[in-house]
Amino acid sequence: MGPSAKKVPVCVNCGAVHWIDPKIAAGVLLVRGDRVLLVRRAIEPGLGRWTFPGGHVDRGETLEEAALRETLEECGATADLGDLLGAFSYPGRPVVVVVYRGTLAVGSREPHAGDETLEVGWFTAEEAGGLELAFRSVADALSRLFGRTYGV
């Protein structure tokens, strides 16, 4: 076994490999004019910090379905998805985050705080730079959206 080979759990009785796959999350950066919608988390991880609406993809659910469901759950809004903004993964981290660009759907309620959010807000690129962001994927997605660097 070479130095870069990874060990995986194997059943000692039958030799079956137990793959430990990454978890997929999906979210949406909703854009209105020159502003993006962010939500402040009411739960850990990232309690009190800002993120885009998003969360884990359920088994059998598409990425798009998960992104739309999480947007509705976290801020009560119905979204129209646009292009894939990016897929973000990091060494040693088990979650792959897929982020779409989107807009509020015609007839959507105005976004508001849900059970998992403390508040919502529409922010310009500059205003978003002054927020405490919850995750590296949020900073990276905002960087891709606005073409400037954000940090966590």
Answer yes or no: is 2 within a domain.
no
150: confidence class by pLDDT, cuts 50, 70, 90: very high
**pLDDT of res. 4:** 54
The mean-pLDDT minimum among 11-20, 52-61, 71-80, 132-141 falls in: 11-20
- Domain of 115, CATH number, reads 3.90.79.10
Which residue type occupies 35?
R
Answer yes or no: is 60 within a domain.
yes
Tens digits of per-residue pLDDT, 41-64? 999 999 999 999 999 999 999 999
DSSP string, 61-90: --HHHHHHHHHHHHHS--EEEEEEEEEE--
1: confidence class by pLDDT, cuts 50, 70, 90: very low
As a dihedral over the C-alpha atoms of residue 120, residue 35, residue 103, residue 89, rounded to 10 degrees, the angle is: -80
Strands 23-32 and 95-104: parallel
Answer yes or no: is 151 within a domain.
no
Domain that holds residue 33: 23-146
104: confidence class by pLDDT, cuts 50, 70, 90: very high
Tokens for 51, please give them.
């993120």
Flag whether pLDDT at 84 surpasses 50. yes
Report the predicted TM-score, pTM, of the whole model to 2 decimal places. Answer: 0.89
The number of domains in the chain is: 1
